Structure 1
């Protein structure tokens, strides 16, 4: 997937984490190295469409991530696993699968429930 980043900046509570980043990369594996607080997680969240770019522009897979429709379309193509992937203790397997359906841009709740049920049923086979 081709990704183009132009002038990307991001701030948390007046602390600038990313400062006018310009980068372009294509298919393959990308590694980010840097000290804690350098903005690696923020950059990944922006690149995956979890956060909306406020300053600058990101185009990923032909989608403009400044728009809701662009971020939603990207989620249908992209998987993202945070470094610490903990689920709330009260989340059932079915709830987790339905939540994953939201992340994968399955808008219809009935379709999310159907697919979650189908996956759970397949475990019994």
Structure 2
């Protein structure tokens, strides 16, 4: 995966590179979940598998929370980014919209907010 992202060189390929990187990150996970779902459904009544899934879920939650802190430290640095983050969080809490929809909306907001001159 890292080699794929490096070969795309997102800093030079802009939106195209970002889209290809997103597809490279999310498509394998989506396909894995989709292809393994029938097997998981068959085995889901197994108590050992249920315990395993609970442990993996807790670990994934911790890893995601840690990643959020790292990403937030690098991404939230002015009033516009604070507002975008806050609105995305409130939108997810209030209306329970699908996360990809909120991410796309926040990306569009970022394009509008950071391409338009502020102040002078």
Q: Same fold (TM over 0.5)?
A: no
TM-score in terms of structure 2 length: 0.25
Greater fraction strand: 1
Greater fraction helix: 2
Rg larger in structure: 2
User: Higher relative contact order at CA 8 Å, sep ≥6: structure 1 or structure 2?
Assistant: 1
TM-score in terms of structure 1 length: 0.24
